[in-house]
Amino acid sequence: MLVFGHMNPDTDTIVSAIAYADLASKLGKDAKAVAQGAVTPESAYVLEKFGLATPEVVTSVAGQQVAVVDTTELSQLPSDIGEAEVVAVVDHHKLGDLATSQPLEMWVWPVGCTGTVLKNMYDFYNVEIPKGIAGAMMCAILSDTVMFKSVTCTDADKKAVEALAKIAGVADPMEIGLEMFKVKSAVDGTPIRELVFRDYKDFDMDGNGVGIGQLEVVDGAMLLPLVDDLYADIAKVKEEKGHHTVILMLTDIMKEGSEILYVTDDKAVFKKAFGIDAADKSFWMQGCMSRKKQIVPDFQGKAFK
Amino acid sequence: MLVFGHMNPDTDTIVSAIAYADLASKLGKDAKAVAQGAVTPESAYVLEKFGLATPEVVTSVAGQQVAVVDTTELSQLPSDIGEAEVVAVVDHHKLGDLATSQPLEMWVWPVGCTGTVLKNMYDFYNVEIPKGIAGAMMCAILSDTVMFKSVTCTDADKKAVEALAKIAGVADPMEIGLEMFKVKSAVDGTPIRELVFRDYKDFDMDGNGVGIGQLEVVDGAMLLPLVDDLYADIAKVKEEKGHHTVILMLTDIMKEGSEILYVTDDKAVFKKAFGIDAADKSFWMQGCMSRKKQIVPDFQGKAFK
């Protein structure tokens, strides 16, 4: 069985695939964590720190048994997923358009991170979490919840981090979290396209292609010299993909908000989705830290109605 | 929050809605079990036996918070489910085409009955199961697994029945199970259309409408005098719904197999789905007791390719 998460894998997708594969193996299944693409610098830092191997890249899964973590959106899964047998899903997002032809096991919770669901699955199945995997899961939760600052963060996430830190022998999770976000924030010398795609997802919204990326930095000021290049590149992405709208959230962790950089066929989508008269090229959304909870639902539900 | 299962509710759908509403209430949510239609004689027997109220019929849910049990197929849900906020799903079927705009809680296991998943949810949340609900859940599992004879039955289902029987103070679950199946088998004086729709579901398979009903009886011989009328009625159902195929499984619990009564635009679907050269009007499938596991997957996967 192959275990993987979404395209443009983030730390939660990578670590949750590793954790689920570990759990499934210990429950007697033959399971291997893979990824649909190269890991981010943040994930590389986490894997290195906790001594875990980087999952091999696999993008075709026809004929295989698979378990999917951290998404149920077909647009974020291998194009031949329909020819695979999906036996399990672990996720924390809205329910997407993945469907199966056989009954399966699904654990989906409205929490900040798939890692939190997996922590509870290990407990449910009475399986011990290996020290290294526990540390990486702790980091995945800190990353997805922006160190508990995201509106997506729940008590279950905080409890899981506390328990996982104990297992991993980490005295101060926040210290590692900040270190991790500094790695994530590093933009010097990174190609612009890589920044745009660092945490990027495509959606089909009422027949309109929409791309939404998010770039989280500890201090938004460090992105100022790059904004023009980032803007030019999302315009290119929009053209290449034939999308209606491409958004790049420049999320400032300290200020707890996001500058929404965008290219669109019709600015009215922002008025319809958020009630905002968008300035040209970008606008600020105070308190907006979560694509999943603060951008996608309103955009999907209202922008094209 | 309204809690309900699929159209043409069976005992699992009715009892699981009641159980989830009870669990959610005890976890501090305002929850009410409802149903999309009248209960079957079997369900009426179970509700009566364990002193539970019959859920009110509700078929429109726009603007409501809802929890869905025992299905994720839009064709089996209220037509305005897209305007409801689905906050939870508990199921044991393949993943269908229900999607949500917000993160949600999902418990889906590949077991014989949604009741089995709910038993484990009660345990997970450390909530005591009321005696009456435990007895009804026990019956739901015995019904869905055809008293453990169905291929869908798992160890988890058997364990759940054992534990629920203890809570309900039932010494011999199989005795109640057989009594229940006798009620279910009762066909005398029941209108033919009611028999056809007793446990009937519509599917969209590659753009083709397919209706599949199942009539389980302790002894198939009791259906013999009705076969011609049942056949004529599924032909009518096919015409009324504009379906490609309508199937009625006449499942013999003692013989452990089903006579597949059918009306179709193209008999080749049975060859493609099951490798069977179907005789006119009907054919026998030994060992076939489960629509979910032994009919739907092959039919959906192969009949229209």
Of the residues A75, A89, A95, the best mutation for testing chain B's interface (the one with the most B CB atoms within 10 Å of its CB) is A95
pLDDT at A27 (0 to 100): 97
Å from A196 to nearest chain B CA?
A: 25
Cβ-based neighbour number of residue B86 at 10 Å: 25
Task: Map tokens 């302790």 to a residue.
Answer: B218
Q: What is the mean pLDDT of residues A94-120?
A: 96
pLDDT at A145 (0 to 100): 94
Q: Which fold has domain A192-302?
A: Diaminopimelate Epimerase; Chain A, domain 1 (3.10.310)
| B58: contact with A, CB 8 A cutoff | no
Of the residues B27, B74, B75, B95, the best mutation for testing chain A's interface (the one with the most A CB atoms within 10 Å of its CB) is B95
Between A86, A99, A301, which is nearest B96 by CB? A99
Between A86, A101, A105, which is nearest B300 by CB? A101
pLDDT at B187 (0 to 100): 81
Å from A190 to nearest chain B CA?
A: 33
| A100: contact with B, CB 8 A cutoff | yes
**Which chain B residues are closer than 8 Å to A89 by Cβ?**
95, 108
Domain ranges of chain B: 2-183, 192-302
Å from B104 to nearest chain A CA?
A: 5
Q: Residue A135 pLDDT more than 80? A: yes
**Which chain A residues are closer than 8 Å to B152 by Cβ?**
103
What is the C-alpha to C-alpha distance for residues B299 and B281, in angstroms, rounded to an integer?
A: 17
Q: What is the mean pLDDT of residues A211-221?
A: 90
pLDDT at B218 (0 to 100): 83
| B51: contact with A, CB 8 A cutoff | no
Contact B110 A97 (CB under 8 A): no
Burial of A122 (0-12, 13-18, 19+ CB in 10 A): buried
| B301: contact with A, CB 8 A cutoff | yes
Between A100, A293, A301, which is nearest B95 by CB? A100
| B107: contact with A, CB 8 A cutoff | yes
| A125: contact with B, CB 8 A cutoff | no
Q: Which fold has domain B2-183?
A: inorganic pyrophosphatase (n-terminal core) (3.90.1640)
Q: What is the mean pLDDT of residues B200-215?
A: 95
Cα radius of gyration (chain B)? 19
Q: What is the mean pLDDT of residues B234-252?
A: 96
The size of chain B, in residues, is 305
Pairing of strands B2-4, B200-205: unpaired
**Which chain B residues are closer than 8 Å to A86 by Cβ?**
95
Of the residues A89, A108, A117, A210, the best mutation for testing chain B's interface (the one with the most B CB atoms within 10 Å of its CB) is A108
What is the C-alpha to C-alpha distance for residues A282 and A270, in angstroms, rounded to an integer?
A: 11
pLDDT, tens digit, for every residue of B248-261?
Answer: 999 998 888 999 99
pLDDT at B193 (0 to 100): 95
Contact A94 B105 (CB under 8 A): no
Higher pLDDT, B84 or B184: B84
Contact A103 B93 (CB under 8 A): yes
pLDDT, tens digit, for every residue of B145-157?
Answer: 999 988 899 999 9
Closest-CA residue of chain A to B293: A102
C-alpha count within 13 angstroms, C-beta hemisphere, residue A280? 1
Contact A102 B297 (CB under 8 A): yes
Is there a contact between A64 and A32 (Cβ–Cβ < 8 Å)?
no
Banded model confidence at residue B275, pLDDT cuts 50, 70, 90: very high
Between B100, B110, B300, which is nearest A94 by CB? B100
Å from A204 to nearest chain B CA?
A: 13
Helix, strand, or coil here: A279? coil
What is the C-alpha to C-alpha distance for residues A7 and A11, in angstroms, rounded to an integer?
A: 12
pLDDT at A188 (0 to 100): 77
Contact A95 B104 (CB under 8 A): yes
pLDDT at B185 (0 to 100): 84
pLDDT at A189 (0 to 100): 80
What is the C-alpha to C-alpha distance for residues B70 and A151, in angstroms, rounded to an integer?
A: 31
The percent of residues in chain A predicted with pLDDT above 90, rounded, is 88
Which residues are A85's β-sheet partners?
A65
pLDDT, tens digit, for every residue of A42-94?
Answer: 999 999 999 999 999 999 999 999 999 999 999 999 999 999 999 999 999 99
Banded model confidence at residue A182, pLDDT cuts 50, 70, 90: confident
| B101: contact with A, CB 8 A cutoff | yes
pLDDT at A291 (0 to 100): 93
**Which chain A residues are closer than 8 Å to B102 by Cβ?**
94, 110, 293, 297
Contact A103 B87 (CB under 8 A): no
Q: Residue B222 pLDDT more than 90? A: no
Contact B110 A94 (CB under 8 A): no
- Could you please report the per-residue DSSP string of A34-67? EESSPPPHHHHHHHHHTT-PPPEE----TT-EEE
Q: Residue A2 pLDDT more than 90? A: yes
Contact A102 B108 (CB under 8 A): no
What is the C-alpha to C-alpha distance for residues B269 and A174, in angstroms, rounded to an integer?
A: 59
| A103: contact with B, CB 8 A cutoff | yes
What is the C-alpha to C-alpha distance for residues B228 and B230, in angstroms, rounded to an integer?
A: 5
